[in-house]
Amino acid sequence: MTDSEREARIYHMVERFYELGDQDPVLAPVFAAIPDRPGHFRIVADFWSHALYGTGRYQGSPFPVHMRIDFPFEAFERWLVAFEQAVSEVLTPMEAEIALQRARHMTQSFKVGLFPFQTADGTPSRHLQRRS
């Protein structure tokens, strides 16, 4: 397997992930707001290239990027379902397993970091609720 085959496969997985996300009613409106899709796909593919193979292609910080995006808490589970399907369809079994483990871990950190509060009924929230 050459590096370019590997990178092409990772990019294709990202395209497939967004194709699946576009079919999901919770993720679709969030993804529709991404201004430059090919540019974004490149960044996300570089992230996974680095996560799987330590290529150094991605040097950013995903957390602050997600602080700026508005999405409901239930988006996390939808995101993981689409991601699991995309990686199992496109990546090798070993890559898929590592990517999924990483994604589950990051989802957990994002949940805690981005939704630190709770509404009165216990639903995770991004905002501190005012008590009356």
Q: Does an H or E element contain 47, and which? A: helix 37-53
Point out which span in 2-10, 37-45, 88-96, 123-131 binds ligand HEM (CB under 6 A): 37-45
Cβ closer to ligand HEM: 6 or 110? Answer: 110
Can you give the C-alpha Rg of the chain in angstroms? 16
Using CB under 6 A as the binding criterion, the count of chain residues that bind ligand HEM stands at 22
Q: Which residue type sits at 62?
A: P
Least distance (Å) from ligand HEM to the CB of residue 45? 9
Residue from 71, 87, 91, 96 that binds ligand HEM (CB under 6 A)?
Answer: 71
- The SS3 of residue 125 is strand
Q: What CA–CA distance (Å, rounded) separates 74 from 67?
A: 16
Minimum Å gap between C-beta 21 and ligand HEM is: 8
Q: Residue type at 18?
A: Y
